[in-house]
Amino acid sequence: MLDISLRVRVHVETLLAAQNDMGVCDAFEQYALVGKPDAMNAPHPPKVAGIDSTVPAPAHTVAPVAAGTSPAAPPNPPAPPGAVLQDRLAGWVSDLTTLHELTERLTRTSALDEALQELLRAGAALVGARRGLVVLEPGDGLGPDTTIGLGLARADLGHIETVPRSALSYGRILDGLPGGEDGVAEPDLFAEEGLHPRHREVAARLGYAASYAVPLTPESAGSTDSADRLGAVVWLYDEPAEPNERQRHLVGLYVRYAAEHLARLLELERTRTAMATMSGELLPARLPRVAGVQLAARHRTGPRGGGDWYDALPLPDAALGLAVGSVTGAGPSAVAAMGRLRASLRAYAVMEGEDPVAVLSDLELLLRLTEPARSATALFGYCEPAARKITLAGAGHSPPLLIGQRRTEFVETSVSAPLGMLACWEAPSVEILAEPGETVLLYTDGLLHRTGETTDRAFARLHAAAAGAPRALRRDPGALADHVLRSVLPDGLDAADGAEDVVLLAVRFE
């Protein structure tokens, strides 16, 4: 038994508890030594393949004896009691602190591509590499499949993909070939006799001489079955090299945690894609072409899917029916309710579209009978392009915005309750008379809610964005809609996922 003074024991235990909220025994148990004890006490190499490693080396208290020391050299002073153990524990604390910082950065990522980039950067720092790529290829075959590179352009990734899959380290992992469960190290590609000629050619062209690949398999999967694997990640060295045992252990711990985080983001991405696909299929595949007007629509949906919709359908007498609306709730049920409501509105518009109040009255009755637990806002307009006139009625919906060279103003509509809120809905219609070149912008409340501001401020921002649109953009309703989106929702909020759906329908009179 080691003779460790009370002062040393207290110092070590306090350090571990403060850094990792665990005791000494827990540290031994959860972070076991990798390799031989002497290797753990040896100084870590400052570089691997010429790359400075950002993994902090533990501060050693015992200097190693250099090989070939002259017998005349004075012997090293004896190590104080507990110094060896304290040195090793300090190394563990340093490694755990590094892992904690890297995993914290990974946890802050909320998009799949962003998380994959962070995985590549952190892993490259841990293994001492400069470049790498991650191949996302879920074993269940449900996708999405993608390849992202670090320090590699799209053309470089294309060159790598020309190499036969079985000749690549990550390809052997993805195909479940023997030897890929714990990672595949290729310390010197050009020294391997069995290296595929195309792999040799691509490696020489891109300038990498070694690689280290590990599988992306969540621990929650409970097995190493290829069906549970998310993909593989490989780091590339510029010269012959390979990670040492400590680096392999650290990157293994990090990748296992990263795989869990990626699995959650993958499910979120799949849900978002499914909801966007479902919503897109329920919305018009294309907008009709009607003489006298130009149409453009923009739709942004959140990860859960929402009930916002738009529609434009030709009506008799060269007229056009225009509609935007929103169903309360989110998720598949709201998307399905939106589809039913939109289909019903199309039928009512064909039968009595010249009377928008009658169209919304029939829609309100249907909603109250078939969807008693839901409410909806809607705006329907009967457009006569030849007269540049729109007769519209609204049910709890935001007023349209009329955008022209000499005026930018909200159209005054009557105050009315959403559909499904009253026993009998009815509100008077209003008429919009537009000038040549003016655009009527219909939109859903999600455009205002995504700003995160009060209603008055959101309306003011929307008005300012439309009024400040350059003259060249006003000739194209699609360009005008994009300008409004980017101005009202800056810093990428127009394209990012959000809790609120956003719909814009721009109608420009020629």
Distance (Å, rounded) from C-alpha 140 to C-alpha 174?
12
pLDDT(136) > 90: yes
Residue 395: both structure tokens together: 């049910």
In a domain, 204, yes or no: yes
- Identify whether 5 is part of a domain: no
Q: Are 476 and 403 in contact (CB under 8 A)?
A: no
Q: Give the residue-averaged pLDDT of 95-100.
A: 90
The answer to whether residue 237 scores a pLDDT higher than 60 is yes
Q: What is the DSSP string of 413-447?
A: ----PPBTSSSS-----EEEEPPTT-EEEEE-THH
On whether both 252 and 295 belong to a single domain, the answer is no
- What is the model's pLDDT at position 350? 94
When pLDDT is cut at 50, 70 and 90, the band that residue 442 belongs to is: very high
- Residues 262, 376: one domain? no
pLDDT digits (tens, 9 = 90+) for 450-460: 888 999 999 99
For residue 224, pLDDT beyond 90:
no
Between CA 364 and CA 421 the distance in angstroms is: 9
Range of the domain at 456: 283-509
Both 51 and 89 in a single domain?
yes
- Residue 5: per-residue pLDDT: 38
Read off the pLDDT of each residue in 252-272 and give the average, rounded to a whole number.
Answer: 91
SS3 83: helix
pLDDT value at residue 401? 96
Mean pLDDT along residues 423-443:
89
Lowest mean pLDDT among 91-100, 122-131, 193-202: 91-100
Measure Cα distances from 340 to 119, 126, 306, 321 in Å: 43, 53, 14, 17
- Whether the model clears a pTM of 0.75, i.e. scores above it, the answer is no
Angle between helices 245-282 and 332-352 (to 10 degrees): 20
- Residue 298 and residue 247 share a domain: no
Looking up residue 360, the CATH number of its domain turns out to be 3.60.40.10
Check residue 230 and give its pLDDT: 93
Answer with the one of 241, 271, 301 that is the final residue of a domain: 271
Compute the mean pLDDT over every residue in the chain, rounded to the nearest whole number: 82
List, in order, residues 6 or more apart from 504 with CB less than 8 Å away. Answer: 297, 298, 299, 310, 441, 442, 443, 447, 481, 484, 485
Cα 474 to chain centroid distance, Å, stands at 32
| DSSP one-letter code for 385 | G
| Co-location of 403 and 298 in the same domain | yes
Identify the domain boundary among 214, 240, 271.
271
Domain of 142: which CATH number?
3.30.450.40
Please provide the size of the chain in residues.
Answer: 510
| Identity of the residue numbered 470 | P
292, 215: one domain: no
pLDDT, tens digit, 9 for 90 and up, residues 310-321: 999 999 999 999
In the structure, what pLDDT confidence band is assigned to residue 7 with cuts at 50, 70 and 90? very low
Widest CA span in the chain: 110
Between 55 and 434, where is the model more confident?
434
Looking at the structure, tell me whether residues 288 and 267 fall in a common domain. Answer: no
Same domain, yes or no: 139 and 186: yes
Of 271, 304, 333, the position where a domain reaches its end is 271
Please give the tally of structural domains in the chain: 2
At position 450, the amino acid (one-letter code) is: R
Q: Is 3 domain-assigned?
A: no
- Is 276 among the domain residues? no
| Lowest-confidence region among 65-79, 93-107, 187-201, 327-341 | 65-79
